[in-house]
Amino acid sequence: MTRVIIKNGCIIDPARKTATVGDLVLENNIVQEVIDFAMAPTSYGDEAQFIDAAGCFVTPGFIDIHTHLREPGFEGKETIATGIDAAVRGGFTTICPMPNTNPALDSASMIRQQYDIAARHSPIHVLPIGTVTLGREGKVLAPLIELAEAGAHGFSDDGAPVWDAHIMRQALLYSTMTGRPVMNHCEDLSLVRGAAMNAGAIATRLGLSGWPAAGEEVMIARDIALAEETGGRLHICHVTTAGGVALIRSAKARGVRVTAEVTPHHLTMTDRWVLGNMEPWDGKGPFDPSRLPPYDTRTRVSPPLRSADDVIALIAGLRDGTIDAIATDHAPHTHVDKETEYANAAPGFTGFELALPMLMTLVNTMQIDVVELVARLTLGPAGIVDVLPVALGPGDPATLTIFDPSTTWTVTPEALASKGKNTPLMGQEMRGQIMLTMMEGQIVFRRDNFGVVSRREHGGAVGKLAGVFDEEE
Amino acid sequence: MNSQSTPDRRRHILDLDDWSAEELRTVLTIGTQMKDVLARPVKQVPTLRGKIVVNMFWEDSTRTRVSFELAAKALSANVLTVGAKDTSVKKGESLVDTVRTVQALGADYIVLRHPHSGAPYLVTQHFRGSVINAGDGRHAHPSQALLDLFTMHEQLGELADKKIVIVGDVLHSRVARSNLWALTTMGAKVTLCAPPTLIGPASYWKATWPNVTISHNLDHAAEGADVLMALRLQHERMEGGLLPSLREYTRRFGLNAARVALASPNVLVMHPGPMNEGVEITPDVATGPRSVIETQVTNGVAMRMAMLYQLAGVN
């Protein structure tokens, strides 16, 4: 019997909406008890092992329902192995790779291969999303039942929309036999063709072709109408506009089976970032604007960074539950993919390892409560791809993340395990860092010697750590 | 949007968005001096002797390319012009790759014409010398705007409160954008006139240039104008639903004698070229008494000399 005590952290249980400062007692890889620090015993016995989490949050492992691991086909950008390494360093214990690989994940064998490769590397859950249509071509439905039986947790042609309304309707109908959602990347191709950034004042000034908010909203409205009629289960990938949030909010109020996700970057960055260093940054962010020149291709992402008004609406949607989940849309690219003219650059940001510190800027500026935030990183996404339980109460698996909200660190290529170094935050100082990630009791990531407590320290006058020591010493 | 915003420290000329009125006046003064040089029997000064200017023209151009070549030669530079068609770009060589090559060959200045907005900013990150933007996508065309400003200033004097009408495909026009920066900085009142499909929502412009007037009616806009500037209408604009027909465009937005008559008696008719005569401008107006279109071309060489001259101290 192994007993591990995570000591003195702030334990967040999004299922119970509680935050408890105290000790999390794990036994045989299962949560045994959450003990308020005032009630904590002075000793847990000689056999117990300790992790000192003072000053840190202890939460269920994060779940990311929208990621790109690029394998097979684009291993120069990322592999399943490097993607997992980055994910655990970002606090994620469940990740859902999108099927826009080459070949696409449109058959049972392709889905099974994802499981096989991931299992060889790590015990974290890699739950692939299958395609909606064969080859993601939008023409012929993929074998959705076979995909689901092989372990696909949803269906998406992500990277491209299911543009044909009839095919989308068929997918929503047919997928009801699987219980899995159809996750659409909402982008009306006729409205956004050639678009490099959000349509509006900044695009006009920079002379870049604009992607109007309506290019997203038109398809969200279409899909909601189809879901309403068919009773199918619809998930809106990366909503980015105020109008999109309003459409989803009213659909939910009518009882339509629709869920939605938002990315950390659309919650924290605006299209002014494409302007680079001349304009003041929105949100009075803590970043150094001189590190970002105009037309920096690291600001190119699909859907594009939107206006400040959109960001405000997204945060409101996240808080009131219109938006169920935060998903990174982790989209690693090579240096060469980005070192080109703005409109030619591959869209997307590396996401796993920056998600938490980016999101903590919202907590630090009082725009969202940390318990709410954790819920949108755990409970919300879990409901969409059906992974439960997500809680830190007695009997729950010891699948958890520990992060320090106050540690500062600088984003450098070396600091990121992902092959994708593509982020407009390169060179910036971030506040908040994942310290330890545990999957069913097994430590899958530990930063430096986080939480290790020596007998020597114990022997000293470390009052708050009474009873804490490390077995190895 | 350069980090080098003061005149004496400016290393590149990429856009006019960060130029002060004082800086614009300085370059106009230098332009006058350069125009004097070009009027001499020996049209050359030694400012850039021993320096290498590489014109990288990744898009077809006659007047801008030739104008920059003449300007650099009048300043005694060694000039080389390369186009996308006669380089390894055909073989898939990237812009950055080409810039590194040009740098290794010893270039001091790159004059870049490129179909992508923002391309000159990418070049500055890989080039130790100075970069002049000779037109990037829809974004900026600072040398055109400076020669336009010079021409207006030469003919009209102070531009404060002068009414300048720019008519045509504003949406896709780098000329319009750079003129907006220069003219609004000098206090001119600018009207952009175009069908809504060729300009987009007015708020998109007013956010950056709050004093600009947006018009969809040239007969109203032309009234009392001090400058009527027509922009080239690209024929491919008929695709994608931007315009139903050239005929309809010409009827509503073409510069003709009747519309010139609505303007100030001293109005200047301008066009950045090349013209589609009979589309955005009638031949009689293009060559008529109010036209300064040829003067624009002549002044272009002087202003491009002035731009190179301004950067000369930096390298």
Q: Which of B18, B119, B125 lies nearest to residue A341, judging by beta carbons?
A: B119
Please give the full DSSP string across A178-199, using - where no structure is assigned. TTPPEEE----HHHHTT--EES
Residue B35: C-alpha distances to residues A54, B40, B43, B71 (Å): 73, 9, 10, 11
Q: Is the residue at A399 inside a domain? A: no
The answer to whether A207 contacts chain B (CB < 8 Å) is: yes
Q: Is the residue at A68 inside a domain? A: yes
Please give the full DSSP string across A389-441, using - where no structure is assigned. ----STTSB--EEEEEEEEEEE--GGG--SS----TTTT-EEEEEEEEEEETT
Give the domain-ending residue among A374, A389, A404: A389
The pLDDT-based confidence of B7 (bands split at 50, 70, 90) is: very low
| Topology, domain B142-296 | Rossmann fold (3.40.50)
Separation CA A375–CA A97 (nearest Å): 21
Q: What angle do CA A296, A87, A7 make, to 5 degrees?
A: 125
Alpha carbon of residue B223 to chain centroid:
25
Contact between A334 and A413 (Cβ < 8 Å): no
Question: What pLDDT shows up at residue B3?
Answer: 42
Helix (H) or strand (E) holding A264, with range, is helix A264-268
Q: Which of residues 343-362 of A touch B (CB under 8 A)?
A: 343-344
Give the domain-ending residue among A352, A373, A389: A389
Q: Is the residue at A27 inside a domain? A: yes
Q: Are A169 and A33 in a shared domain?
A: no
Separation CA A132–CA A162 (nearest Å): 8
Mean pLDDT value across chain B: 93
Structure tokens at A192: 């956004």
Tens-of-pLDDT digits for all 473 residues of chain A? Answer: 689 999 999 999 999 999 999 999 999 999 999 999 999 998 898 889 999 999 999 999 999 999 999 999 999 999 999 999 999 999 999 999 999 999 999 999 999 999 999 999 999 999 999 999 999 999 999 999 999 999 999 999 999 999 999 999 999 999 999 999 999 999 999 999 889 999 999 999 999 999 999 999 999 999 999 999 999 999 999 999 999 999 999 999 999 999 999 999 999 999 999 998 544 444 456 777 778 899 999 999 999 999 999 999 999 999 999 999 999 999 999 999 999 999 999 999 999 999 999 999 999 999 999 999 999 999 999 999 999 889 999 999 999 999 999 999 999 999 999 999 999 999 999 999 999 999 999 999 999 999 998 644 443 333 344 444 444 43
Give the domain-ending residue among A372, A389, A406: A389
Name which of A295, A338, A339 to mutate to probe chain B: the one with the most chain B Cβ atoms within 10 A of its Cβ: A295
How confident is the model over B233-275, as pLDDT tens digits? 977 766 778 888 899 999 999 999 999 999 999 999 999 999 9
CATH number for the domain spanning A361: value is 3.20.20.140
Q: Which CATH superfamily is domain B7-140+300-312 in?
A: Aspartate/ornithine carbamoyltransferase (3.40.50.1370)
What is this model's ipTM? 0.94
Check B12, B65, B138, B141 and give the catalytic one: B141
β-strands A92-97, A125-126: how paired? parallel
Domain count, chain A: 2
Separation CA A306–CA A273 (nearest Å): 10
Question: What pLDDT shows up at residue A45?
Answer: 85
Q: Say which amino acid occupies A239.
A: V
Q: Are A237 and A96 in a shared domain?
A: yes
How confident is the model over A73-102, as pLDDT tens digits? 999 999 999 999 999 999 999 999 999 999
Omega before B142 within 30 of 0, i.e. cis? no
How confident is the model over A393-450, as pLDDT tens digits? 999 999 999 999 999 999 999 999 999 999 999 999 999 999 999 999 999 999 999 9
Q: Is the residue at A412 inside a domain? A: no
Q: How close B129 comes to chain A (CA, Å)?
A: 18
Hey, are the CB atoms on A204 and B204 less than 8 Å from each other?
yes
Q: Are A104 and A216 in a shared domain?
A: yes
Q: Are A7 and A71 in a shared domain?
A: no
Separation CA A209–CA A192 (nearest Å): 9
3-state secondary structure A448-460: CCCCCCCHHHHHC
Q: Are A166 and A17 in a shared domain?
A: no
Q: Are A90 and A36 in a shared domain?
A: no
The answer to whether A276 contacts chain B (CB < 8 Å) is: yes
Domain with A146, as residue range(s), is 62-389
Q: Is the residue at A295 inside a domain? A: yes
Q: Are A374 and A238 in a shared domain?
A: yes
Q: Are A15 and A69 in a shared domain?
A: no
How confident is the model over B194-239, as pLDDT tens digits? 999 999 999 999 999 999 999 999 999 999 999 999 999 977 766 7
Q: Is the residue at A395 inside a domain? A: no
How confident is the model over B20-60, as pLDDT tens digits? 999 999 999 999 999 999 999 999 999 999 999 999 999 98
The pLDDT-based confidence of B90 (bands split at 50, 70, 90) is: low
Which residues of chain B neighbour A207 with C-beta distances below 8 Å? Answer: 117-118, 136-140, 174, 177
Which residues of chain B neighbour A198 with C-beta distances below 8 Å? Answer: none
Q: Are A38 and A121 in a shared domain?
A: no
Question: What pLDDT shows up at residue A241?
Answer: 98
Could you tell me the pTM of the whole model? 0.94
Question: What pLDDT shows up at residue A222?
Answer: 98
What values do phi and psi take at B228, rounded to 5?
A: -115, 110
Contact between A123 and A84 (Cβ < 8 Å): no
Q: Are A148 and A196 in a shared domain?
A: yes
Q: Say which amino acid occupies A51.
A: I
Q: What is the DSSP letter of B240?
A: G
Q: Are A23 and A148 in a shared domain?
A: no
Name which of A205, A292, A426 to mutate to probe chain B: the one with the most chain B Cβ atoms within 10 A of its Cβ: A205
- Nearest chain B residue (CA) to A208: B117
Q: Where are the domains of chain B?
A: 7-140+300-312, 142-296
Q: Are A378 and A457 in a shared domain?
A: no
Q: Which of residues 209-268 of A touch B (CB under 8 A)?
A: 210
